[in-house]
Amino acid sequence: MLKRFAKYYKPYLKTFILAMCCGLGNTAAGVVYPIVTRYMLNVLVPGRRFNMIIFFGIGLLFTYVIKMILRYCLDFYGHQVGTYIQADMRKELFAKLEQLPFSFYDNNETGKIMTRMTNDIFEISELAHHGPEMIVMTSFSLIFSLFYLSSINITLALIIFSCSPFLFLITMIVRKKHLESVRKARASMAIINGNLNSSISGIRITKAFNNSEREMEKFEEGNSSFIEARKGHVFTMSIQHAATVFVTDVFNVICLISGGIFLFNGKITFGDYSSFILSISMFTSPILQMVQWMEQFDQGLTGFERFCEIIDLPVEEDREGARNIKKLNGDICFEHVSFSYNHDDGREVLDDISFKVPEGSTVALVGPSGGGKTTICHLLPKFYHPDAGKITIDDIDIEDITMYSLRENIGIVQQDVFLFSGSFYENIAYGKKDATDRQIIAAAKKANIYDYIISLPDGFDTQIGERGIKLSGGQKQRLSIARVFLKNPPILILDEATSSLDNTTEALIQEALNTLKKGRTTIVVAHRLSTIRTADEILVVANGQIKESGTHDKLIRKRNGIYRKLYNSQFIDSDFGIDNKIMMS
């Protein structure tokens, strides 16, 4: 794990070495004080050499100026390295998240992922900066103090050194429980962030249903869990800190008593005794700092473990030998396709599905909710992979087509439109990286949203708010359609693109969709059956199977058919002329 962590220093090795050299110099400057103190007490004061006392005092002051400069450089370059590593790890994690399959997001909340992206990586960067600094500086201080205290009085030094194993023993006993408490606290924080993200995203629904108290209760559940986890963390941390401070205080008592006995028996001079008392902190302080630093080490290590959990997940990968195909015609075929989201429960969402969508034709998928219609749409661009059977486009197995080129040939308009924070221009341009202004304007016109955009004071530069919150449902939908117009793919998936819209808005969007469908192979998932009456073929999907297929006229005449019942349930009270008479006959 440490070896893996060390690789992040490699791009910044020169800056890191410079920071460590500054840390070493800073520590070396710090040990000048006890040396000068001992010399003054043993030589200069007894010899009444006043001028030399002033000289050494000025020299010590100059050393502290150097120490200040080195401390600044240590902090500046050290934090710089930590910041660079933090940015690199965040970039690596984000790139990984972009490559993970849909199944990862099915099982992980956004808030929990954000915790790993922010809190965890921050703790790692703190460890990246302070960890090496602590090791270098405390190691130098300990080594110097061992030699320096031994040079004053070896016997007295050995008495003090013999107490140090107690500190490390306490650390080893407490550390395991402390590490576990840190993991629990981090997991609890992820739950809080998950609840917070959900509550803030759904704040309008919360207010509409007067459910603020309920959301507060949910938040308090996570908050209480965090408090309990933190209690365990603080408990073990407090024991460790209290015990280590106590042992270091005992060091001072032992030093005071032992040194006093040695002084009384004439085995040490008063100057050496005073210097030893002043210098004992050179030995105890780095030990205490290192023990206390273990908390930061545990937090950083836990964060790095959680970071690696995601980095080590398998990504979406193309089959070996998969080809980049620039332009597909759009002749689609599903052959005996079966699929399940969760293989453990044994329930198949799709069971032996087979159908064809000839190039340039429109096939509609209808049926009750949960029947598998959207899953079919998700399998085509390889958001998921079939458990059995295969899907071909232009007689090519889609597994033999790279995901990038496959998705470049498919445009998707969904019921739940996702728009990015930014302007109209930016959201339409998302459909094509190198789009020109003329192409973006043309796409807006085809989607029937151009007139609305130019009526705004800032036109295409108007900010639409988070997820398009400033727009109506119809405006969001037309904006997403403009994005697909700009992409201009040969294959189109419309997943309930006109659901939950008023009749006027639906008419505008349907007009845009009819234009969009021209010359493209189209799969339509429809709730409103009036929108798919002209489809070349209608497939009735229920319980993961295709129960009926045919044109609207063929299916509407099938007595006791599922499609006829669905259509009848929507239009029995409407004036639809001949269709109503057919249904009632």
Give the three-class secondary structure for 333: strand
CA distance 98 to 91: 11
| 236 confidence band (pLDDT: 50, 70, 90) | confident
Find where tokens 């365990």 sit: 232
Q: Give the rounded percent of residues in the chain with a pLDDT score beyond 70.
A: 86
Q: What's the confidence (pLDDT) of residue 160?
A: 77
34-43, 199-208, 377-386, 387-396: the lowest-pLDDT one: 199-208
Phi, psi of 557 (to 5 degrees): -90, 0
pTM: 0.75
- Write down the pLDDT at residue 356: 94
| CB neighbourhood size of 17 (10 A) | 13
Distances (CA, A) of 200 to 193, 317, 465, 467, 577: 10, 34, 14, 13, 48
Taking residue 320's Cβ as centre, other Cβ atoms within 10 Å add up to 6
Phi and psi at 389, nearest 5°, equal 80, -175
Cβ proximity of 393 and 332 under 8 Å: yes
Cβ-count burial 168-206 (b if 16+ within 10 Å, e if not): eebbeebbeebbbbbbbbbbbbbbbbbbbbbbeeeeeeb
With a cut of 80, say whether residue 278 has pLDDT above it: no
Q: Per-residue pLDDT tens for 517-542?
A: 888 999 998 877 777 888 899 999 99
pLDDT (0 to 100) of residue 496: 76
Residue 85, Cβ density class (10 Å: 0-12 exposed, 13-18 middle, ≥19 buried): buried
Closest CA to 496 of 415, 419, 381, 417: 415
pLDDT at 88: 92
Instruction: Give whichever of 323-337, 481-495, 524-538 has the largest mean pLDDT.
Output: 323-337
Higher pLDDT, 386 or 126: 386
User: What's the angle, vertex CA 197, arms to CA 193 and CA 202, rounded to 5?
Assistant: 150
- Using the predicted structure, report yes or no on whether residue 9 has a pLDDT greater than 80: yes
Confidence of residue 454 (pLDDT cuts 50, 70, 90): very high
pLDDT-derived band at 585 (thresholds 50, 70, 90) equals very low
Mean pLDDT is highest, among 39-48, 460-469, 499-508, for: 460-469
- Say if residue 337's pLDDT is above 90: yes
Tell whether the model's pLDDT for residue 501 goes beyond 60: no
Quickly list DSSP for 108-119.
Answer: S-HHHHHHIIII
Give the pLDDT mean for 150-169.
78
Higher pLDDT pick, 532 / 199: 532
Contact 423, 465 (CB under 8 A): no
Q: Assess whether pLDDT exceeds 70 at residue 464.
A: yes
Residue range 356-388, pLDDT digits in tens: 999 999 999 998 888 889 899 999 999 999 999
Domains and CATH numbers, the chain: 2-311 (1.20.1560.10), 412-488 (3.40.50.300)
CB atoms closer than 10 angstroms to residue 382: 21
